[in-house]
């Protein structure tokens, strides 16, 4: 932090560190490229790539899909930083309502919208009432579907998701999500 390479984002009792600039990221990517040439092949993801691609984290979208939805919402200016998390912008209110997101239900949650650190992607996905309502809408409209579990007693079975062709189209159009 003293060298200006990382910044800290406090969230409740947690402290999340992130890179301070694009220049720092570029330097690390360069070092990563050098290390990749000398390193052994990466290990396989323990829960399978499908689990890393799309899943539920409690009641909201996670994995690559959740991170992409969060990036789409911020990139389109549909949510903006607010005390304790995020607030919907006027453009976001209109866009989210057009997608069928129940904003009134999202506002009834303890927190409207906040970051949740994604353990597989090491970037934030969206939690809170808005995250819950986006996931519920995607399931209700069959933009994502639940994947079958590995068998009886599979603790991850209810969390596995796959993006449907309609979901890929709709999320791509609305948020620029490449699913």
pLDDT of residue 17: 85
- Residue 88 class from Cβ within 10 Å (0-12 exposed, 13-18 middle, 19+ buried)? buried
At residue 41 the predicted structure's pLDDT band, cuts being 50, 70 and 90, is low
pTM of the model: 0.73
121 compared with 55, residue with greater pLDDT: 55
- How many CB atoms within 10 Å of residue 63? 24
The contacts of residue 4 (CB under 8 Å, 6+ apart) are 20, 21
Angle 81-124-39 from CA coordinates, rounded to 5°: 140
At residue 75 the predicted structure's pLDDT band, cuts being 50, 70 and 90, is very high
pLDDT of residue 81: 93
At residue 52 the predicted structure's pLDDT band, cuts being 50, 70 and 90, is confident
Query: Using one digit for the tens of pLDDT, what is the confidence trace for 99-146?
Result: 999 999 999 999 999 999 887 788 899 999 999 999 999 999 999 988
Q: CA nearest 95: which of 17, 175, 14?
A: 175
Lowest model confidence (mean pLDDT) among 40-54, 89-103, 146-160: 40-54
Give the span between the Cα atoms of 3 and 7, in whole angstroms. 10
């Amino acid at each position: 932090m003293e060298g200006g390479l990382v910044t800290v984002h406090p969230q409740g009792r947690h402290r999340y560190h992130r890179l301070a600039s694009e220049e720092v990221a570029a330097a690390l990517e360069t070092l990563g490229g050098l290390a990749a040439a000398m390193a052994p092949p990466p290990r396989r993801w323990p829960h399978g790539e499908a689990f890393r691609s799309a899943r539920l984290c409690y009641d909201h979208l996670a994995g690559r899909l959740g991170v992409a939805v969060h990036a789409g919402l911020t990139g389109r200016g549909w949510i903006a930083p607010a005390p304790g998390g995020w607030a919907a912008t006027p453009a976001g209110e209109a866009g989210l309502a057009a997608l069928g997101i129940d904003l009134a239900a999202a506002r009834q949650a303890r927190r409207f919208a906040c970051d949740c650190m994604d353990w597989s992607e090491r970037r934030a996905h969206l939690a809170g009432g808005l995250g819950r309502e986006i996931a519920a809408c995607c399931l209700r409209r069959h933009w994502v579907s639940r994947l079958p579990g590995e068998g009886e007693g599979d603790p991850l079975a209810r969390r596995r998701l796959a993006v449907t062709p309609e979901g890929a189209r709709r999320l791509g159009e609305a948020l620029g999500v490449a699913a």
